[in-house]
Structure 1
Amino acid sequence: MFVVFDIGTSRLKVSAFSATGQLLGQVTKRHSQYVEKEFSWQDTREWWSNACTGFANLMQENALDQKAIRGFSVCGRAGAGVFVDKSGQVIAEPWSDARHRPLLRGLREQYPAAPTYGLTLISKYQWLKQNQPAICDDIRHCLHAKDFLLYKLTGIGMTDPSSGPDGLAWFDQACADPELLPTPALPWTIAGALTNAAAGELGCPSGIPVAVGAHDGICANTGCAMINEADYALTLGTHAVCRTMTVTNHGAAERFYCFPPDRHAYGGNNWHIGSTLTWMLTTLADLPAELSAGELGSFNEAMVNTKPDPDLLFLPYLGGQTIPEKRALGSGSFQGLSLNTDCNQMLLAVFRGCAFSIYRTYQALSGITGDADRIGLTGGGIVFTPWLQLLSNLFQKEMILTDSGVEGRGAAIFCAVALGDFRDVFEAAPAMQPESTIIQPEQLDELCAEQFETFSRLSSQT
Structure 2
Amino acid sequence: MDYLIGVDLGTTATKAVLFEKNGKIIASSSQAYPLYRDASGMAEEALEDIFEAVLSAIREVAIIIEENDELLAISFSTQMHSLIAFDENWQPLTRLITWADTRAVKYTEQLKASKVGSEIYRRTGTPLHPMAPLSKLIWLKNDRPDIYEKAAHYLELKGYIFYRLFAVNKIDLSTATGTGIFNIFDLQWDKAALEITGVTPEQLPQVVEPYEIEQNLSEDFAKQMGIQRKTKFVWGAADGPLSNLGVNAIAPGVAAITIGTSGAIRVVTDKPKTDEKGRTFTYALDREHWVVGGPVNSGGDVFRWVRDQIFEGEMSFEEVTALATKVSAGADGLLFHPYLGGERAPIWDANARGSFFGLNYGHNRNHMARSVLEGIVFNLYTVALSLVEVVGDLNMIQATGGFTSSKLWTQIMADIFEQPINVSESREAGCLAAVVMAEKALGMIDDLGEISTMIGNNQTYLPNPENVARYRELSPIFIRLSHTLGLEYENISDFQRRFKANK
Amino acid at match of 1:389: Q
Deviation (angstroms), 1:157 = 2.1
Amino acid at match of 2:32: R
Bigger mean CA deviation after superposition, 17-26 or 225-234: 17-26
Matched residue, 1:158: 170
**Tell me, what secondary structure is at the counterpart of 2:333?**
coil
Inter-CA distance 411–86: structure 2 relative to 1 (3 Å threshold): farther
**Which segments of 5 or more consecutive residues in structure 2 lack a partner in the other structure?**
177-181, 486-503
Matched residue, 1:15: 17
Deviation (angstroms), 1:352 = 1.2
Deviation (angstroms), 1:106 = 6.9
Amino acid at match of 2:189: W
Inter-CA distance 35–327: structure 2 relative to 1 (3 Å threshold): closer
Deviation (angstroms), 1:43 = 0.3
Deviation (angstroms), 1:362 = 0.9
Matched residue, 1:169: 188
1:306 aligns with 2:365: no
Inter-CA distance 200–133: structure 2 relative to 1 (3 Å threshold): farther
Matched residue, 1:115: 124
Amino acid at match of 2:482: S
1:221-240 to 2 correspondences below 5 Å: 221-240=244-263
Amino acid at match of 2:84: V
Asked whether the equivalents of residues 21 and 434 of structure 1 are also in contact (C-alpha less than 8 Å), the reply is: no
Matched residue, 2:374: 352
Deviation (angstroms), 1:349 = 1.1
Matched residue, 2:459: 437
Cα distance in structure 2, aligned partners of 1:443 and 1:224: 27
| Residue-by-residue CA offset, 1:99-129 (whole Å, 9 max, x unaligned) | 4455566778376254266994355456556
Asked whether the equivalents of residues 62 and 227 of structure 2 are also in contact (C-alpha less than 8 Å), the reply is: no
One of 303, 308, 333 as aligned partner of 1:277? 303
Cα distance in structure 2, aligned partners of 1:389 and 1:219: 24
1:58 aligns with 2:84: no
Inter-CA distance 156–118: structure 2 relative to 1 (3 Å threshold): farther
Asked whether the equivalents of residues 78 and 117 of structure 1 are also in contact (C-alpha less than 8 Å), the reply is: no
Asked whether the equivalents of residues 52 and 202 of structure 1 are also in contact (C-alpha less than 8 Å), the reply is: yes
TM-score, normalised on structure 1? 0.87
Asked whether the equivalents of residues 270 and 322 of structure 1 are also in contact (C-alpha less than 8 Å), the reply is: yes
Matched residue, 2:313: 287
One of 389, 401, 416 as aligned partner of 1:394? 416
1:43 aligns with 2:64: no
Asked whether the equivalents of residues 143 and 182 of structure 1 are also in contact (C-alpha less than 8 Å), the reply is: yes
Inter-CA distance 185–395: structure 2 relative to 1 (3 Å threshold): same
Identity of aligned residues (%): 22
Asked whether the equivalents of residues 78 and 146 of structure 1 are also in contact (C-alpha less than 8 Å), the reply is: no
For these two proteins, the number of residue pairs brought into alignment is 454
**Tell me, what secondary structure is at the counterpart of 2:343?**
coil
Amino acid at match of 1:304: T
Deviation (angstroms), 1:431 = 3.3
Cα distance in structure 2, aligned partners of 1:147 and 1:432: 28
**Tell me, what secondary structure is at the counterpart of 1:91?**
coil
Asked whether the equivalents of residues 270 and 320 of structure 1 are also in contact (C-alpha less than 8 Å), the reply is: no
Deviation (angstroms), 1:306 = 3.2
Matched residue, 1:381: 403
Cα distance in structure 2, aligned partners of 1:26 and 1:140: 37
| Residue-by-residue CA offset, 1:309-341 (whole Å, 9 max, x unaligned) | 413221222233344434232211112223332
Report the RMSD for the aligned CA atoms in angstroms. 3.0
Amino acid at match of 1:169: Q
Bigger mean CA deviation after superposition, 145-154 or 343-352: 145-154
Cα distance in structure 1, aligned partners of 2:10 and 2:299: 14
Matched residue, 1:189: 212
Inter-CA distance 449–84: structure 2 relative to 1 (3 Å threshold): same
1:267 aligns with 2:270: no
TM-score, normalised on structure 2? 0.81
Deviation (angstroms), 1:81 = 0.6
Cα distance in structure 1, aligned partners of 2:111 and 2:360: 48
Cα distance in structure 1, aligned partners of 2:60 and 2:313: 26
Asked whether the equivalents of residues 233 and 378 of structure 1 are also in contact (C-alpha less than 8 Å), the reply is: yes
Inter-CA distance 107–114: structure 2 relative to 1 (3 Å threshold): farther
**Tell me, what secondary structure is at the counterpart of 2:55?**
helix
Deviation (angstroms), 1:21 = 1.6
Inter-CA distance 265–88: structure 2 relative to 1 (3 Å threshold): same
Cα distance in structure 2, aligned partners of 1:274 and 1:188: 31
**Which segments of 5 or more consecutive residues in structure 1 lack a partner in the other structure?**
none
Inter-CA distance 344–131: structure 2 relative to 1 (3 Å threshold): closer
Amino acid at match of 1:285: F
Matched residue, 2:81: 79
Inter-CA distance 35–268: structure 2 relative to 1 (3 Å threshold): closer
Deviation (angstroms), 1:450 = 2.7
Deviation (angstroms), 1:296 = 4.9
Deviation (angstroms), 1:2 = 1.6
